A and B are shown apart, each in its own frame.
Chain A
Amino acid sequence: MLYGMTSDIAVLAEDLTKFYGAQRGIENLNLDVKVGEVMGFLGPNGAGKTTTIRLLLDFLRPTRGHARILGLDPRRDKAVLHRQIGYLPGELAFPGRETAKDLLRFFGDARGGVAWSTVTSLAERLDLDLSRRVRAMSKGNKQKVGLVQAFMHQPALLILDEPTSGLDPLMQQEFLAMVRDARDNGQTVFMSSHVLAEVQSTADRVAIVRNGQLAAVEKVESLGRRAVRSVEIHFGDPVSRAEFTGLPGVSNVEVAGPVLRCTVDGRLDPLIKAAALHEVIDLLSAEPDLEETFLSYYYHSEGATDATAAAGA
């Protein structure tokens, strides 16, 4: 399956740069994804994720630098390479007005033949009706067709742009299981997302881009330790702010009558113990979005960056 391979690097970007006129798509991207690895490619919308993916697939040509995929050149070896890549576009649109079955048959034939049982078992797994016309499908079902075509030929490398968009939570879990199976199979997965939690549970490493530049590449374990979340607690009676400031890991404390809002870095235990002194009506805890916390960690304080480097080492 991995013919054409010259090393254990599945995706290599060296100084990869794309400008659209004066506008920056991605600049000086240096990145490697190892064979058999699941890499999350994170960043807010417009950060350059899709540009990078399109460069890897040779839809775009770099302004500078180059990429190697499975040891091959994206442009020169496109025909050989794309047989080994499963690609899910970020903005999914299907050519033609066929049923999912006919469309998937075409994708299978074009990739040199795919066992139909693989397609039907993927469709079953995602609860997808193949007899319906793709054009008439809901966004979620279209996404499932996109996933089936990306996985159906068991490619050496899966390049997935926002794979869970439009999927309901149950199907998101099923998708993440498919990614884990692919990794167990020795396949490499490169998937973009703008939600940290989504890649956290499956990825080995995450690369984070912002404003067209690579901000960091981290092992997921080191991210987990720094899982910052926002917490909102509704008490039976008004509480005082002083009780909660100074708790380990708790910051940004705001109190409005009986409602406490704060962010917690790391363990929730100190906050819970302090809150338990009062009658708790409701407790809400949310993964903060990437833009808000994780990236600000890198961009708004130099000291934090050093601390991260130390923690990562």
Chain B
Amino acid sequence: MLLPPLVRKTSRDDRRAVIGWTAGVAAFTTIYTGFYSQFQGAAELKQNALPQGMLDFLGIADMLSPAGYLQATVFSLIGPLLVLMCAVTLSARTIARPEEDGGMELLLANPLSRKAFATQRLTAAAVAVTVVAAMPWILLSILVPAIAMDVPLSNVAAACVGLIALAWCFTGIAFLVGAVSGKRGNVLAITGVLAVATYMANALSNMSEGLGWLKWLSPFYYFIGTDPLHTGWHPGHLLLLAGIGVATAIAGIILFDRRDVGV
């Protein structure tokens, strides 16, 4: 007996989605990173073309250095966006979706306590999210040396682990919303708005000194605000992100145990 049957079942049901997201994130990472050698001339043009305010907003310090290029392409917007969309949709599948489409009754009739049920559903989803969020790490570990980008692999690892921690943070939040409300729309809307709002908070804090304090409210600051590709590991920040994920997940499990299901 390897894994509990419900964990295996949940993973099986998520398999197609996970393959899709993994392929998408992998393709995105590979294509953008792979363009680096052709891009070097164009980067200068692009950096000059974009106003400084826009660069600050996107969190792009410079596009010319290898670290700056990776930051601007993989880590600034689309990378986290893809990973978070995956995290939110997979989290919505743990409880909210089956509760809405009726599949919940037969799942919940499994001989498991409510807490064990929620934990097993979340475990399967969190593993899937982690696999998707780890794709950039796996690929960059290969690509960065292969195309001779001058970024220490330890710094790449720090940024990539940050992406995983960011994904955990929002997986926990999305799970909590679904566990409490049982509504898929709530999961997508509340987590989506929170992600956009905190992204904006971090972006605005880059643009204006007066708004600098906003960054402390944003998971995106703890993920990328310290520029890990240049500065390396910031374990406190990563632990904080993971901690938010774990705390919201535990809250979700406790609250799911206390409510009516499927009404």
Contacts and interface: CB of A to CB of B under 8 A. Distances in A.
B111 A112 contact: yes
Interface string A136-166: 0000000000100100000000000000000
A96 B93 CA distance: 11
Interface string A54-75: 1001111100000000000001
A131 to B, nearest CB: 17
A93 to B, nearest CB: 3
A149 B231 CA distance: 56
Contact of A95 (B5, B8, B9, B259): B9
A89 B12 contact: no
A61 B111 CA distance: 18
Contacts of B9: 95-96, 106, 110
Contacts of A110: 5-6, 9, 110-112
A302 B103 CA distance: 44
A121 B47 CA distance: 71
Contacts of A20: 263
Interface in A69-83: 75, 78-83
A92 to B, nearest CB: 7
A129 interface: no
Nearest to B259: A61
A110 B109 CA distance: 10
B12 A91 contact: no
Given A60-B260, A110-B5, A93 B111 contact: no
A89 B112 contact: no
B113 interface: yes
B260 A98 contact: no
Interface string B89-125: 0000000001001111111111111101000000000
Contacts of B261: 59-60
Contact of B106 (A75, A81, A95): A95
Nearest to B258: A61
B262 interface: yes
A111 B260 contact: no
A89 B101 CA distance: 13
B13 interface: yes
A85 B109 CA distance: 8
B109 A95 contact: no
A78 B8 CA distance: 21
Nearest to B14: A96
A241 interface: no
A79 B116 CA distance: 9
Given A92-B102, A93-B102, A110-B110, A59 B260 contact: yes
Contacts of B108: 57, 59
A164 B92 CA distance: 33
A80 B111 contact: yes
A91 B13 CA distance: 21
B112 A78 contact: yes
Interface residues of A, number: 34
A235 to B, nearest CB: 50
Contact of B109 (A57, A96, A106): A57
A109 interface: yes
B107 A95 contact: yes
Contact of A82 (B12, B102, B112, B258): B112
Nearest to B98: A95
B13 A95 contact: yes
Given A54-B262, A59-B260, A89 B106 contact: yes
A125 interface: no
B113 to A, nearest CB: 5
Interface string B136-152: 00000000000000000
Given A59-B260, A59-B262, A111-B111, A97 B13 contact: yes
A83 B111 contact: yes
- Looking at B8, B9, B262, which has the most chain A CB atoms within 10 Å of its CB? B9
- Looking at B9, B104, B106, B259, which has the most chain A CB atoms within 10 Å of its CB? B106
Given A59-B260, A79-B116, A149 B106 contact: yes
A94 B106 contact: yes
Nearest to A111: B111
A80 B263 CA distance: 24
Interface in B67-104: 98, 101-104
A109 B5 contact: yes
Contacts of B116: 79
Interface in B224-263: 258-263
Nearest to A85: B109
Contacts of A92: 102, 106
A238 to B, nearest CB: 53
5 contacts: A54-B263, A79-B112, A91-B102, A107-B106, A112-B111
Given A54-B262, A106-B8, 12 more contacts: A58-B114, A59-B108, A61-B260, A78-B112, A80-B111, A89-B102, A93-B102, A93-B105, A96-B103, A102-B12, A106-B9, A110-B112
Which 9 residue pairs are nearest across A and B when measured between Cβ atoms? Answer: A93-B102, A95-B103, A83-B111, A109-B5, A89-B105, A82-B111, A96-B13, A110-B5, A87-B109
Interface of B: 5-6, 8-9, 12-13, 98, 101-114, 116, 258-263
Interface of A: 20, 54, 57-61, 75, 78-83, 85, 87, 89, 91-98, 102, 106-107, 109-112, 146, 149
